[in-house]
Amino acid sequence: LDSRAMYEFHPLSHFNDRPEGVEIDTIVIHSMYCVLPRLGTPFSMDACLRVLDEEGVSSHFMIGRDGTVWQIVKEDDRAWHAGESKMPEKFGGRENVNDFSIGIELIASPRSGFTDSQYDSLISVTNVLLRRLNIRYVLGHEHIAPQRKVDPGELFDWNRYMNAFPDLIWGVEDA
């Protein structure tokens, strides 16, 4: 199954090449919403894409409230989603998580929670990535940059997501 056939491609230019020989083995879950009223409604995928563009950042995928999936950066490229980041020590403490990870943005506010359609699409995207890449770790942005990030946040149901993938190593404590 070719993931490119499953998603609309909405490319941003905020990415670069991964370092030579780096294996992609991590998924980082993010959440975002459009906080700039001039760009549209808070849950608009178009508005959120513009926010990423204006901030000079990107992720590999964006999942809308209705489960729509947009691919923003190709998996082989390094998206700029994690910023200054470090894996937990129990996973080796590697820095520069963008180098070896796939970033997935879920459109949600700190109070909205996540929709059934988003969980379904996130599980589908993860299944495709598991077939294509050697994914071993899944964490939230909050787990790799805890001093500065809180997403996807306390309303993200890690147990619901994790139960779909019992063989992965989760970076979530007490989920």
Q: Which two tokens stand for residue 79?
A: 């998206």
Residue whose tokens read 């950042």: 57
Catalytic residue numbers, as ranges = 105
What is the CB neighbour count within 10 angstroms for residue 160? 14
Dmax over CA atoms of the chain, in Å, equals 43
Q: Which two tokens stand for residue 122?
A: 């996130």
**What 3-state DSSP class applies to 22?**
coil
Sign of CA dihedral 7, 11, 15, 17: positive
φ, ψ of residue 41 to 5 degrees: the values are -70, 155
Q: Pick the closest to residue 107 from 46, 54, 162 (CA basis).
A: 46
**Angstrom distance (rounded) from CA 77 to CA 159:** 29
Contact 63, 138 (CB under 8 A): no
